[in-house]
Structure 1
């Protein structure tokens, strides 16, 4: 090691410093040397539990290049995550096409839906985690992707055949196309909609169905999902006010998945709801709005504490749920990240609650601790 290299505390680092390696006592190794680009680069090291690093003062730059140090174990964007990002860009194109009175590329949409089904069948935990990684100002696209993924996971759990799952996933992916026909002043209104505005909002279902009706050969299951995702068992849904006798199993499934994702998303007019609370609402409304048996199956599918949930353990450590064993849903595999009592970051490490004396006390809101859960879930 060069004589110029010195060890400094993490708090003394600044953008422009060149990091050579991480101090061994931190318990982490450096994936690659590089410059600290920004406060975000420092935060990534801090959240990884790094306390001090070795820097080369002679290489400090006022304007660091696009090269930043990462703790080893920070995976590159994996195939499921790349698929998600590509699909999100594709959804933006589909919505843009609809806004211009053109037809979205249904064949491309079908390929993305099938890709998500592949992921749900082969890597269900990874796909479940992807639905918890959200970005502000991307709700419309991400909601469609998340509902598609959750629908595929749910259909897989229910044992439906692959060809049918593909159809249901495509319907879920395209179910909200008609929202681009709703004025943005209504779609993005931060407060409660007036009765008149809500009537306009409800037209998005009719628009979605009308747009897809122009595509010849779409399976009826796709249209069923699109046309009925806001109907309710008690007949108080929209746009047709259908009752239980008119709603198929697939229509009942999409209503559950659609509401669950909407409740757990942060919007301009509401904060994100913890998954556990959203599931309780679904249970409370089962029998009237939703099919009780299917709600119970959905909860079994994603777990009481779904992958991506921030939980507080009895030890007062905060952890992110990473994997939910079907046989022990209350004892998932978690990733320890934070000490709620001391308000300090912990060295990130896995913990299997099936073999630990620790246990889950409750779900927590990441925003209360300034935690970005996506950093621990990038699958």
Structure 2
């Protein structure tokens, strides 16, 4: 359950600023997090920023928020980062070990927004330190949900979801009435191909797939939105975050992206969280939880929106949601392999090596191959997660090369 453990310091109601580390600071979520912090009137103090290769932006962010440490995952970029921070008093570090070490530094909260399976080790390092995690990396729970949640419960720390859908559920899920929840309903914009025919989807280009109608996100997440794979991954994530069975998790297409998710109760009540499609709202909520702070976002004016519409997911045009649900039912390494194969497939599409429909097809074929080779089984350790991840990537790469 997301709401495990203790709440972090509460700067909104007095006391010292909440100390933060941001993993993935130059990505879409990281940038929005920095913006929220800069508008928060000293409510937060940044200990460390971690990024991949955008040294100029990482150094600029570190100076802007007066971070103590800036880390690049690329060891070859240590020199450029150190030079960019010269005279600032901000420490520089580089390499995967430095990323994990930064994640494990003692702070009040870690924003975990490194995209993909690469975010798993540093997120676990934060949990092992006993730090509350604001989780914006859905792959952590898709790849290793049982391990991550078990570690959080053992350390008695909170995992606060940052994805707009899971944040919405988190805000309206009555933990004390969990047994009265009939359904958790995640909403999906439908992506750029919501109204496309199967024939149009078959010839979709990367440029078209990257034109999301509502959200500004990184390339991988945007392609996942176009296939609706992101919604399947979010189903898996929701299964680990909230005490509901798989058959009580649903997806509803909502093109306006105003209702971010809903929780239905046995008495017929349907509670929804609404807001403009701006990630700074769920980020501000996560950073300030269990309180609320002001966020630099537009206010929702329903009279200007006028109409909200909802549709069922078309499983024929978008089979990825059903594929993810099937992997969730299998459990164990199935979701790890699914995630690994999807990362390979998305990269292959963006580089022009496979057509758009082959993304989901490649993931399905990888899972079928894994079942045939008896590779679908329980994962009890992080090493077993990495082994399943490596297997999924190898098989997906082989299959992509054969297309």
Q: TM-score, normalised by structure 2?
A: 0.27
Higher RCO by CA contacts (8 Å cutoff, separation 6 or greater): 2
Larger gyration radius, structure 1 or structure 2: 1
TM-score w.r.t. structure 1 length? Answer: 0.28
